[in-house]
Amino acid sequence: MTVYAIIGGTGLTRLEGLSIHQSLPLDTPYGAPSADIQKGEYAGREVLFLARHGHPHRFPPHQVNYRANLWALKQAGAEAILAVNAVGGIHPAMGSGHFCVPHQLIDYTSGREHTYFADDLEQVTHIDFSYPYSESLRQQLIAALAAEGCEFSSQGVYACTQGPRLETVAEIARLERDGCDIVGMTGMPEAALARELELDYACLALVVNPAAGKSVTVISMAEIEQALQDGMGKVKSTLARVLVANR
């Protein structure tokens, strides 16, 4: 049976309903992960959980130790990663509260430790990253969202920006010209590192605000927090459906 791990982003620093059997304070060759790996039972099956930004939420996107996080999850036994991301909506369909299961991404970040293949190599290693998300995991999320009756898009292009600031109107216009549908700050290098470790990986993105220039008002943290609060119940029930369907 596949061992699933859930990486919780902004708004999901703890997984209510997770019956914790162990809290694993793992160390890795790349330092400590953002938080202890929680190992327990959720929706009737064993699952691993990691708060991407720590608990409490203390690591900004550009300072998350993505290499340690993914390494620790694999060390704890993870085989498939369900990553939850709060994002801004660029495409007109991506309003607040909308879900997207992206099929592609573009990386606009810089300066992040983004690969395990960097030091003391006997030979250069390249991974095929043509399709950054596991299609089988994507389909599981899509089926769960449909069963939950959520408003969602079954594909989209995720733009990953550096953060922690939000983007300018001109930057969002550029991302839209590039073909991006949603924008976030944590999708990379997480997805690529999962591929290097041969872990299946898919993203469940919750739109929490229109991207810059996509609404008549300025983006407010109150608006984002409200969208997170409203959407987290659906996030949890969607994840539970994926786990139950694969018991």
- Domains plus CATH for the chain? 4-113+131-245 (3.40.50.1580)
Annotated binding residue 10? yes
Annotated binding residue 241? no
Spatial contact of 49 and 4, defined as CB atoms under 8 Å apart: no
Annotated binding residue 65? no
Is pTM, for the whole model, over 0.85? yes
Amino acid at 6: I
Annotated binding residue 186? yes
Other beta carbons within 10 Å of 219: 18
Annotated binding residue 68? no
Per-residue confidence in pLDDT tens, the chain, 247 aa: 789 999 987 656 566 676 778 888 899 999 999 999 998 888 778 899 999 999 878 899 999 999 999 999 999 999 999 999 999 999 999 999 999 999 999 999 999 999 998 877 777 788 999 999 999 999 999 999 999 999 999 999 999 999 999 999 999 999 999 999 999 999 999 999 999 999 999 999 999 999 999 987 777 788 888 888 889 889 989 999 999 887 7
CA distance 93 to 154: 12
